[in-house]
Amino acid sequence: MAIVPADHNSPSKQTPKSPASVKAAPVSVNAGSAGDKAAAVVSGSRLVQPEVRSGEAHIETGLRPRRLSQYLGQEELKQNLGIAVEAARRRGDALDHMLFYGPPGLGKTTISMLIAEEMGTEIRITSAPALERPRDIAGLLVSLQPGDILFIDEIHRLNKVAEEILYPAMEDFMLDITIGKGQAARIKRLPLKRFTLIGATTKAGSISSPLRTRFGHVHRLRFYSDTEMQQILLQSAVVLGAKLGPEGAMAIACRSRGTPRVGNRLLKWVRDFAEVRNQPEIDAELATAALDLRRIDAAGLDPADRQILETIIVHYQGGPVGIETLAAAISEDTATIEDMYEPFLMQRGFLQRTSRGRVATPLAWKHLGMEPPSQQLPLFD
Selecting among 136, 153, 302, 305, the annotated active-site residue is 153
* Cα 278 to Cα 175: distance, rounded to the nearest angstrom: 60
Total residue length of the chain: 381
* Cα 342 to Cα 357: distance, rounded to the nearest angstrom: 12
Selecting among 214, 261, 265, 306, the annotated active-site residue is 261
- Helix, strand or coil, per DSSP, at residue 194: coil
| 297 part of the active site | no
246-253 vs 260-276: helix crossing angle, rounded to 10: 130
Beta-strand relationship, 217-220 and 196-201: unpaired
State the amino acid at position 230 in one-letter form.
Q
Cis ω for the linkage preceding 146 (within 30 of 0): no
Selecting among 108, 257, 271, 348, the annotated active-site residue is 108
| 201 part of the active site | no
CA atoms within 13 A on the CB side of 369: 2
| 153 part of the active site | yes
Closest CA to 93 of 32, 17, 146: 146
- Cα of first residue to Cα of last residue in the chain, in angstroms, is 54
What secondary structure letter does DSSP report for 341?
I
* Cα 145 to Cα 124: distance, rounded to the nearest angstrom: 11
With b for 16 or more beta-carbon neighbours within 10 A and e for fewer, the 326-352 pattern comes to bbeebebeeebbeebbbbbbeebebbb
| 288 part of the active site | no
Selecting among 121, 126, 201, 202, the annotated active-site residue is 202
Selecting among 61, 109, 259, 361, the annotated active-site residue is 109
CB distance 279 to 286 below 8 Å: yes
Residues near 124 by beta carbon (within 8 Å), at least 6 away in sequence: 4, 5, 6, 140, 143, 144, 148, 149, 150, 151
| 108 part of the active site | yes
* Cα 359 to Cα 213: distance, rounded to the nearest angstrom: 36
Backbone angles phi, psi at 123, to 5 degrees: -125, 130
Sign of CA dihedral 292, 296, 302, 307: negative
Catalytic residues: 108-109, 153, 202, 261
